[in-house]
Amino acid sequence: MKIVIIGAGPAGITAAETLRQYDRQADIVMLSSEPFPPYAPPAMIEYFMTGRESHFWKGKDITDLLGLDYRSGIRVEALHPDQHAIRLDSGKTLVYDRLIIATGSSLHASIPGADLPGVYNFKSLSAAEELVQRVRQKEVEHAMIIGAGFIGVEIAILLRSLGVEVTQLEMADRVMPLMLDAETAQIVLDQMEGRGIDVRLNTEAKAVVGDKRAEAMEIEGGVTLSFDVLIAATGVRPNTQFAEGSGIEAGWGIGVDDHLQTTAPDIYAAGDAAETEDRITGEHYVHAIFPNAVAQGRVAAQNSLGLDIAYEGADSMNSLKHLGIPVMAAGRMEGEVLRVRSNGAFRKLFLVNDRIAGFRMAGDTSAAGVYRTLMNKKIKVTSFKHKLLSPGFGMGVIQSLALSPPFSL
Ligand X SMILES: Cc1cc2nc3c(=O)[nH]c(=O)nc-3n(C[C@H](O)[C@H](O)[C@H](O)COP(=O)(O)OP(=O)(O)OC[C@H]3O[C@@H](n4cnc5c(N)ncnc54)[C@H](O)[C@@H]3O)c2cc1C
Footprint of ligand X on residues 345-384 (CB under 6 A)?
Answer: none
Residues recorded for the chain: 409
248 in contact with ligand X (CB under 6 A): no
Binds ligand X (CB under 6 A): choice among 5, 28, 41, 361: 41
Q: Name the residue nearer to ligand X (CB basis): 125 or 199.
A: 125
286 in contact with ligand X (CB under 6 A): no
Q: How far apart are CA 60 and CA 187, in angstroms?
A: 38
* Position 159, amino acid: L
Per-residue mark of binding to ligand X, 111-150 (x: CB under 6 A): -----------xx---------------------------
138, β-bridge pairs: none
Binds ligand X (CB under 6 A): choice among 31, 132, 140, 264: 31
Residue of 259, 208, 267 whose CA lies nearest to 85: 267
Q: How far apart are CA 250 and CA 263, in angstroms?
A: 9
User: C-beta of 278: minimal distance to ligand X in Å?
Assistant: 15
Q: Name the residue nearer to ligand X (CB basis): 224 or 366.
A: 366
Q: Name the residue nearer to ligand X (CB basis): 107 or 357.
A: 107
Determine the Cα angle at 83 with ends 82 and 84, to 5°: 95
In whole angstroms, how far apart are CA 191 and each of 139, 159, 255? 27, 15, 38
Binds ligand X (CB under 6 A): choice among 154, 170, 275, 277: 154
Q: How big is the site for ligand X, counted in residues (CB under 6 A)?
A: 38
Q: Name the residue nearer to ligand X (CB basis): 220 or 283.
A: 283
102 in contact with ligand X (CB under 6 A): yes
* Position 104, amino acid: G
Residue of 385, 253, 296 whose CA lies nearest to 12: 296
* 107 contacts 231 by C-beta, under 8 angstroms: yes
Binds ligand X (CB under 6 A): choice among 17, 34, 275, 277: 34
- Helix axes 368-376 and 395-403, enclosed angle (nearest 10): 30
Q: Name the residue nearer to ligand X (CB basis): 42 or 177.
A: 42
Residue 339 CB-half CA count within 13 A: 13
Per-residue mark of binding to ligand X, 253-282 (x: CB under 6 A): ------------------xxx---------
| Cβ burial, residue 361 (10 Å; 0-12/13-18/19+) | buried
42 in contact with ligand X (CB under 6 A): yes
| Cβ burial, residue 242 (10 Å; 0-12/13-18/19+) | buried
Q: Name the residue nearer to ligand X (CB basis): 104 or 313.
A: 104
Residue of 163, 162, 161, 168 whose CA lies nearest to 146: 168
Binds ligand X (CB under 6 A): choice among 48, 70, 290, 346: 290
* 120 contacts 159 by C-beta, under 8 angstroms: no
DSSP state of 283: -
Q: Name the residue nearer to ligand X (CB basis): 33 or 203.
A: 33
Per-residue mark of binding to ligand X, 207-246 (x: CB under 6 A): --------------------------------x--x----
Q: Name the residue nearer to ligand X (CB basis): 60 or 341.
A: 60
User: C-beta of 138: minimal distance to ligand X in Å?
Assistant: 23
Which chain residues interact with ligand X by CB under 6 A?
6-12, 31-34, 41-42, 44-45, 75-76, 102-105, 122-123, 151, 154-155, 239, 242, 271-273, 288-291, 293, 319, 321
